[in-house]
Amino acid sequence: MMMKVLVLPLFQMSSGHHKVADALIDFLQTKFPFVHCRKLDFLSYCNEYIEKFVSDVYLRWIRSHPASYHHIYKMLMYRDVPKMDWVHLEPWLPYFEHKMKRLIEAEKPQLIICTHSFPSRILQRLKRKKWLTTPVINVYTDFFMNGVWGKKGIDYHFVPHQEAKEELIKKYKIAKEQVIVTGIPVHETFMSKKGGGRGSKQRLHLLIAGGNQGLGNISDFFRKMNGTNQFRYSVLCGHNRALYEEVLRWKQPHIRPLPYIASIDEMNRLYEEADAIITKPGGVTVSEALHKRLPLFTISYLPGQEQINLRYLEERGLIYNLSGLRHYEQKIWHVLHDDMERSRFLRRVAEYFAQIEQSAQEALQQIVWQYSKTHVWSH
């Protein structure tokens, strides 16, 4: 007998929503032989032209007009604005509800996992109308919960921290048993702490990660490092071929460009080799680095989600923000060589993880066992 699990990220482009979805799918299908997962981009399922149009507009907007994107994001998505349903999306919502019904009727899942807010919002509406009884799990992939997520009617919430749990309980009257502080989920491979110390390496190794699109001004970063070669650099270029070729043309032996890395084991090896990571404050990459106890630096961030993530991380001393500095080298050197500063950083990371109640994998395991004991799955 098989248990079908439907996992719903959004957009086809690589993102934290997909990384979390893949991590949970890998866990479920490894742990439970009777579980079959299907990951599906809900927008593409509705209409591939809509998905392409929306993703293209999104990428162009955040690059060309970041301030206006951040303003609109905060106004429409950051806070839970009831008018959003009725004014901005009302003409489209029946269409998406219809598509979601068709999807569920076709797939007949016994469990639905949302790693993006939009499918969760549509599922909440179906739950309120008593059309859907299938259990739904929200898995949040940022250090905050935007206002689009369905909240009431959703069966379980895997939240990033205790503040999010308290918000769901107090503001939305959700039972505390339904809210589990898991942190932002990462693949189990990344959950082990980074082994060993700096040792006697002459050059410290900095891992530069700009996201799968390779966003960020890498040339500017190296200029603000004063052209120093006292560090070794691995530059993760993602799918940005132009960036990869640009770094290659520099012909600098201490700077190594890397194309998109699909292998979890290879990515874990890079984390193990690194002494620090320079990255944008995307929830999943930051969470992976925190599991590895790697000092985190940021030089740029996207408007909207990453800007809000950055505020949370800075307030708790979990990231060093280099943006605004004329030179980066001195700050990075201080953090990596000052034992007291390193000790303080590790203590702050430990405090963050102390609030975690269960990993997402542990929580998911309990839910699957619970439902498998009380239901008979179809072939």
Candidate from 92-96, 221-225, 239-243, 269-273 with smallest mean pLDDT: 92-96
**The residue type at 308:** I
Q: What is the DSSP letter of 173?
A: -
- Residue 230 is predicted with a pLDDT of 83
Q: Three-state DSSP class for 233?
A: strand
Work out the pLDDT band at 194, boundaries 50, 70, 90: low
Classify each residue of 53-88 as buried b or exposed e, where b means 16 or more C-beta atoms within 10 Å of its C-beta: eebeeeeebbeeeeeebbeebbebbbeeeeebeeee
- Residue 228 is predicted with a pLDDT of 62
Fold match flag (3-183+356-374 vs 191-354): yes
For the chain, give the percent of residues with pLDDT over 90.
Answer: 60
Domain boundaries, the chain: 3-183+356-374, 191-354
Work out the pLDDT band at 378, boundaries 50, 70, 90: very low
**The residue type at 343:** S
One of 3.40.30, 1.20.120, 3.40.50, 3.30.450 is the CATH number of 3-183+356-374, namely: 3.40.50
Residues 77-100: pLDDT tens digits? 555 545 444 445 556 688 889 889
**Taking 50 as the threshold, does the pLDDT of residue 200 lie above it?**
no
**Taking 60 as the threshold, does the pLDDT of residue 24 lie above it?**
yes
Q: Which is more confident, 177 or 84?
A: 177
Single out the residue of 326, 325, 322, 324 nearest to residue 335, CA to CA: 322
Would you list the DSSP string of 89-111? STTTHHHHHHHHHHHHHHH--SE
pTM for this one?
0.88
- Residue 95 is predicted with a pLDDT of 83
Q: How many CB atoms lie within 10 A of CB 99?
A: 16
Residues 135-174: pLDDT tens digits? 999 999 999 998 889 999 999 999 999 999 999 999 999 9
Rounded average pLDDT over 362-374: 89
Rounded average pLDDT over 224-243: 84
**Taking 90 as the threshold, does the pLDDT of residue 368 lie above it?**
yes
Rounded average pLDDT over 167-193: 95
- Residue 209 is predicted with a pLDDT of 87
Residues 310-367: pLDDT tens digits? 999 999 999 999 988 888 988 999 999 999 999 999 999 999 999 999 999 999 999 9
- To the question of domain 191-354 being in CATH 3.40.640.10, the answer is no
Candidate from 60-64, 146-150, 216-220, 370-374 with smallest mean pLDDT: 60-64
* CA 128 centroid distance within chain: 28
Work out the pLDDT band at 62, boundaries 50, 70, 90: low
Rounded average pLDDT over 2-29: 88
Work out the pLDDT band at 211, boundaries 50, 70, 90: low
Average pLDDT, the chain: 85
Single out the residue of 197, 240, 198, 190 nearest to residue 219, CA to CA: 240
